[in-house]
Amino acid sequence: MPDTAVQQEAGTTIRPASQPSHPRTLNVASADALPCDLEAEKAVLSAIFLDPANFTTVSSILGSVSGSGEEKRKKFNKDAAAIGNPFFQRVAATMFREPVHAAIYEAMLNLSESKLEIDVLSVSDWLSRAGRLEMIGGTEALIELQSHIVSAAHLESWCHLLRDYAMLREMMKTCSNSLELCKQGNDDIKKLLDNVESNIFNVRNKFIQSEIVELRGLLKETFQELNDIALHKTSPGIPTEFPDLDRLIGGGLKPGEMFVLAARPSIGKTALALNIIRNIINREVDGQRKAVLFFSLEMTDKQIVQRLLCTEARVPLSSFYDGSFQGADTTKLTAAVTNLRQANLFIDSTSAISVFELRAKARKLRELNKIDLIVVDYLQLMRAGDRAAESRQVEVAAISGGLKAIAKELGVPVLVLAQLSRESEKSNGPKNENPLPKLSHLRESGAIEQDADVVVFLHRNRDDSKEDNAEAQKDGIKSMLIVEKNRNGRTGIVNLRFIPSLMEFRCIEHKYERTDVPTKTD
């Protein structure tokens, strides 16, 4: 908890304490036993009366509780029957435990919204028109409150104290409601857990404040970062080791960004994602390997490891099942096991995982191990918890927004696989034309293309991978990565070849430049 003030009665002055104040130990069984500090509440209101300019400081700390846009947009209403903004009423009631103090702060918020001066007379008039002046003790109570302190030197500390207590009260209420839900029982336990996680997560988000940063404070750091990138002292992102793709997207997967890889079923989304993961976890940077957290909603962890192992050893997975495995390949497999054993890859194969569960697992692992990349396979198999009861478009939009928020919060890139709709296979051109996918083909929600920083489509002719196409099986299937959206760079097409037997994509038509560092091979 941030530095706060301890209330000591010395006349009417509240002085800061040398140690942070902590919530009192209370009997939470009582309905009134919610943590608060009434003296701090009085001090904050008194500071505003003492100097109305202090309202800006107070509202920037206490008045930033999130609310709906409709509540925030509602204008001041001078009709006594419907006076005030409901959003301001909710903010005041959240931040001030004492109803009298909440009513006074609500009046101040409404007066400020109406661009009116805040003083004892204006607050008294507003409360009178709202029919609540007598409830707070009349104008005499306001005059008494005005002289409660003689200095507002520690106003910010008092505001942060109130904010911390407000957060504790909201959390206690949420936990109490969650306990009641658990007592009532629910046939769908996972849905109940999603709702509880969602409510707790919402309390945290409700009190998050966006920090305003001055440009001059960022210029030096930003210039140094760009200069280091230009001099090749650092990489702008995590290279995928597909050089043409890395060049298009500006150096690789960047921290805080959401990278969407989309395709129709059975085109090779998972195979390409595993190729990228394999390239990243095998590459050493300054003697260390990157760590990747892979959420596989479609395949089991053993299936993932089988694919990785066989691709690394260049041994077809199918050879174990059709009897074509050669004894000489055992050496290759042993070498692959030795190499992959040094990799930092964490696999979670929970089916239908929710955004909140994924976020909790990612945060926990982030605290224990440094995670450099999160991969999700794939978006449409996830759940949005409490948004599941709404339309599928709303649920997918909530999932997409949640994944983008995770990328920003944890400061790591999030590679998200997604499916394209059947519309991507339809063509208005010649009968044999192979139509290219578009952003509008992202399945079930347009929010995916809005949230994503980079959208890449994996595209190839599905018929080329059939077993009777011997040439394609030998030389590889022509495939392309279509960078359709790139918020911070170029768009374009990267040509690849897909080797079905090894589930491996390889670069073609690439000319190495001075800035490219080829991957070491045995």
CA 17 to chain centre: 36
User: Cα(249)–Cα(485) distance, rounded to whole angstroms?
Assistant: 9
pLDDT of residue 470: 62
Assess whether the previous peptide bond of 165 is cis (omega < 30° from 0): no
Residues 6 or more apart in contact with residue 472 via CB below 8 angstroms? 464, 465, 500
pLDDT of residue 379: 87
38-206 and 235-507: same fold?
no
pTM above 0.95, yes or no: no
Which residue do the tokens 């919610």 mark?
A: 34
pLDDT of residue 461: 77
Question: Could you tell me the residue ranges of all domains in the chain?
Answer: 38-206, 235-507
* pLDDT tens figures, 9-34: 333 333 333 333 444 333 344 445 78
* pLDDT tens figures, 383-399: 876 655 567 788 888 88
pLDDT of residue 82: 52
* pLDDT tens figures, 395-447: 888 888 889 988 988 889 999 998 887 777 665 555 546 678 878 777 666 78
CB neighbour class for 74 (10 Å; exposed up to 12, middle 13-18, buried from 19): middle
Q: Which residues pair with 376 in a beta bridge?
A: 295, 416
pLDDT of residue 193: 78
In the three-class reduction of DSSP (H, G, I as helix; E, B as strand; rest coil), residue 258 is classed as: strand
Cβ contact 464:492 at 8 Å: no
Structure tokens at 277: 């993961």
Structure tokens at 458: 């994996």
Residues in the chain with pLDDT values less than 50: 1-31, 66-81, 432, 510-522
Region 235-507: CATH code: 3.40.50.300
CB neighbour class for 491 (10 Å; exposed up to 12, middle 13-18, buried from 19): middle
* pLDDT tens figures, 164-183: 899 899 889 888 888 888 88
pLDDT of residue 8: 36
Strands 414-419 and 454-460: unpaired
Cα dist from 22 to 25, 155, 208, 487, whole Å: 9, 17, 20, 44
User: Cα(509)–Cα(245) distance, rounded to whole angstroms?
Assistant: 12
In the three-class reduction of DSSP (H, G, I as helix; E, B as strand; rest coil), residue 5 is classed as: strand
User: Cα(399)–Cα(112) distance, rounded to whole angstroms?
Assistant: 37
User: Cα(470)–Cα(475) distance, rounded to whole angstroms?
Assistant: 9
Assess whether the previous peptide bond of 321 is cis (omega < 30° from 0): no
Q: Report CA torsion sign: 443, 446, 448, 453.
A: positive
pLDDT of residue 16: 38
Cβ contact 461:301 at 8 Å: no
- Tell which residue, 435, 62, 384, has the closest CA to residue 195: 384
CA 204 to chain centre: 13
Region 38-206: CATH code: 1.10.860.10
Mean pLDDT of the chain: 79
CA 382 to chain centre: 15
pLDDT of residue 276: 92
pLDDT of residue 22: 41
